[in-house]
Amino acid sequence: MAFEGLSDKLAAAFKKLKSKGRLNEDDIKVAMREVRLALLEADVNYKVVKDFVKDVSARAVGADVLESLTPAQQVIKIVNEELCRLMGSENARINIPSKPPCIIMMCGLQGSGKTTHSAKLAKHFRSQGHRPLLVACDVYRPAAIDQLKVVGAKAEAPVFELGQIDPVQIAQKAVAHAKDHGNDIVILDTAGRLHIDEELMNELKNIKSAVSPNEILLVVDSMTGQDAVNVAQSFDETLGIDGVILTKLDGDTRGGAALSVLAVTGKPVKFAGIGEKLEDLEPFHPERMASRILG
Ligand code: GDP
């Protein structure tokens, strides 16, 4: 599970602090050095680590902490609060407009989990009483359309496809189809590439301007660590995104992406993918993640 290494290292640093009883500034400095290393080893963006340690240190050397009866506990509490703040102080959700359909455009690199998470979202919305329509806009690989049909059937959501024609047209027709058929949510599964390239970005921009999505969600693979954050930054700069779905948090990812995405891009993680099955989707809760990290 994600964060194992980070959790162990933070626990070790805090154990030392707790064994000391009273603390002075030097004790805090030593502990913060260990926190810094633990975060860097977990693949958290270096600038994010620097700011994090600075913020925690500034609060931890205050008289209210050092002179308290349980200074180590106070430091841990501060780390917990700052971790939550880093990942987002409020739970970021998808804003469903009052006038349907809500158009969600899924984008991301190939293999990040876009198709799987389109279906996971469809299942999630169905369980809330919505009627999502899945749309096959990834037209370059015929297998991608078939894959969406397979996962769509599992999610019990209809799949709209027009074969391998212009994805902009498919998106437009899908929105019209949704209006005619009472689908209040449209989930566009767009094409991914192995790397960000101009052609892909242009296609995504064209789909965006043709259907004006309510949400552009970027799917990133947490196993790719810092790369996941770089990808998020590039997509946000060129296309503009509303949030991130962080996938494969069940694997042995070091978790750095979860801690860096919001600070680097200003865009929140909205969902976490925690397995290959369609029910393995969680709304992203910063407090829950923080307590998972702090054990
Ligand atoms: P796409 O190319 O972006 O559409 O990616 P896919 O949806 O085809 O997913 C790529 C692979 O990652 C598939 O084998 C999925 O089963 C797997 N996958 C997707 N999400 C998760 C996840 O949250 N956890 C795990 N363990 N595997 C995932």
Residue 215's identity, in one-letter code, is E
Specify the pLDDT at position 142: 81
Nearest alpha-carbon partner for 138 in 214, 241, 219, 257? 219
Helices then strands, each counted (H, E), the chain: 12, 8
Q: What residues contact residue 205 under an 8 Å CB cut-off, 6+ apart?
A: 238, 239
Residue whose CB lies within 8 A of the most ligand 1 atoms, among 116, 194, 278, 279, for a mutation test: 116
Specify the pLDDT at position 114: 97
- Is the minimum distance from the CB of 248 to ligand 1 under 6 angstroms? yes
Q: Mind listing the pLDDT tens digit of every residue in the chain (295 residues)?
A: 678 999 999 999 999 999 988 899 999 999 999 999 999 999 999 999 999 999 999 999 998 888 898 999 999 999 999 999 999 977 688 988 999 999 999 999 999 999 999 999 999 999 999 999 999 999 988 899 999 999 999 999 999 999 999 999 999 999 999 999 999 999 999 999 888 889 999 999 999 999 999 999 999 999 999 999 999 999 999 999 999 999 999 988 899 999 999 999 999 999 999 999 999 999 999 999 999 899 8
Residue in this structure with the two tokens 């008289």, named with its chain if needed: 63
* Distance from chain centroid for Cα 132: 21
Residue ID of nearest Cα to ligand 1 atom 2: 111
**8 A C-beta contact, residue 249 and residue 214:** no
Specify the pLDDT at position 20: 87
Q: Which atom of ligand 1 is nearest to the CA of 247?
A: 23
Q: What is d(CA 260, CA 243) in angstroms, rounded to the nearest whole number?
A: 13
- Is the minimum distance from the CB of 190 to ligand 1 under 6 angstroms? no
Specify the pLDDT at position 222: 95
Specify the pLDDT at position 95: 84
Q: Buried b / exposed e across 227-244, counting CB within 10 Å, b at 16+?
A: ebbbbbbebbeebebbbb
- Is the minimum distance from the CB of 120 to ligand 1 under 6 angstroms? no
Nearest alpha-carbon partner for 293 in 47, 29, 44? 44
Residue ID of nearest Cα to ligand 1 atom 28: 276
Q: What is d(CA 139, CA 54) in angstroms, rounded to the nearest whole number?
A: 48
Specify the pLDDT at position 273: 97
Specify the pLDDT at position 10: 96
**pTM (two decimals):** 0.95
Q: What is d(CA 85, CA 89) in angstroms, rounded to the nearest whole number?
A: 5
The conformation of residue 174, written as its DSSP 8-state character, comes to H
